[in-house]
Amino acid sequence: MKNEMSQDFNYDEFQELIDDIQKDAPHYEAMKEENETPTTDKGKKKKRIKRHRIGWYTYFLIVVDICALICFYVFYGPSETVRDWFITTAITTGRHKYLAYILYDSKTISSVLSNNNFVSVEGSTDASKIQFVENPDTGYYRNDYDKQIVQHDEGQTYKIINFDEDGTKGYIAVIYKPENVNLVLSTTGYGNTMTQFGADAKVAINAGGHYLYEDHTISPMGSVVTDGKIRHNSYTYEPLVCMTNDNVLLLKWGRINDVIKNDIRWAVHWSPFLIVNGVSAQYTGNGGLGVRPRTAIGQREDGIILFVVIDGNSGASMPQLVKIFERYFCVNAANLDGGGSSMMTVNGEIINHPAGWGYSGERYVIDAIVYK
């Protein structure tokens, strides 16, 4: 460290700077007399008393102090935005809740959470509101967002939209053939990467969450249905994101033994529901669920399915996720597992930047929604 600092800092130039500052001071002459003594040389030359030089460690401590002051101002200053973002994001992670309690007391955390909350939509999908259109591209568009979704080439079965709006970056996969959207469950106890899930798929996204055990095995966090059969049963009343055999995205609370009677071909546990039958979720502040990478699925009234992934380099709050689906005229939409698990592949390749707290790259997940 010392050798590095020596190359960048010129002590002689710094000494000259100190001299210039002293010359401008009112008491410079007095200091000059105190700091200089005549020599016995014939020319009566003056000899400057050697001053102490400032070591590199002093500058290091100054930098540390400045950084600490900046952090203190950011987290405890007049703006509550950063504080609320930090607390709600840390509290909603699986392993890093403690970070919120390092900087704030329980009373502050409780106050922030009460002022930032999200109320999922009640009820379940009304299938009659989905009217499938064989060719939705009629040349008439409600706005530019609608045009982005509907306009496509003849024979094109999907498209990818790269968006960057309101500080949120991500990808939308527009699926024109919902009958080819299915759920795939890992056949190993350790899960699969998204590139493995999406190896033979046009588009794939992660789906439900999972429990991680000490031996690195994982299991579904809730009930799972694939190919019309219950693969994992939680035996609880839970939020389920399903696809019926009529290609309707069904959002429904219930026990999987009852929900499967709705003629569903796949189902996965997750929440919250963002929009149900055109009614959006209610929220205050930033929604209380933090700003994180997100994965979500939605369906428009014309039957078009949207896969949404918010990039790990960006992140989104739950209200921002609701607005994305509203913007593209979805009548039903649900959040899926997010954070470091948020991934999308196109033709077997990851197109987003998966990232979580303290790491980046692909994570093993328990299941995936694929479009083949």
Boundary (domain end) residue, out of 77, 96, 117: 117
Give the tens place of pLDDT for each residue, 158-212: 999 999 998 899 999 999 999 999 999 999 999 999 999 999 999 999 999 999 9
* Residue stretches of the chain with pLDDT short of 70: 1-80, 85, 92-95, 357-359
- The rounded distance, in Å, linking the Cα atoms of 324 and 228 is 30
Residues 178 and 230 in one domain: yes
Q: Quick check: 277 and 271 in contact, CB under 8 A?
A: no
Bridge partners of 345? 204, 350
Residues 165 and 107 in one domain: no
Boundary (domain end) residue, out of 117, 148, 176: 117
Residues 161 and 106 in one domain: no
Give the tens place of pLDDT for each residue, 205-249: 999 999 999 999 999 999 999 999 999 999 999 999 999 999 999
Residues 132 and 144 in one domain: yes
Residues 204 and 58 in one domain: no
- pLDDT for 2 equals 41
Report the domain count for the chain.
2
- pLDDT for 5 equals 41
Residues 252 and 273 in one domain: yes
- pLDDT for 73 equals 42
Residues 32 and 129 in one domain: no
Q: Which domain holds residue 223?
A: 120-371
Which residues are CB-contacts of 325 (< 8 A; sequence separation ≥ 6)?
274, 275, 296, 298, 306, 308, 333
Residues 96 and 127 in one domain: no
DSSP 123-163: S---GGG----S----S--SSHHHHHHH---TT--EEEEEE
Residues 103 and 130 in one domain: no
Retrieve residue 365's tokens.
Answer: 């997940």
- pLDDT for 107 equals 80
- At 332, the amino acid letter reads N
Residues 151 and 273 in one domain: yes
Boundary (domain end) residue, out of 87, 117, 147: 117
**pTM of the shown model:** 0.76
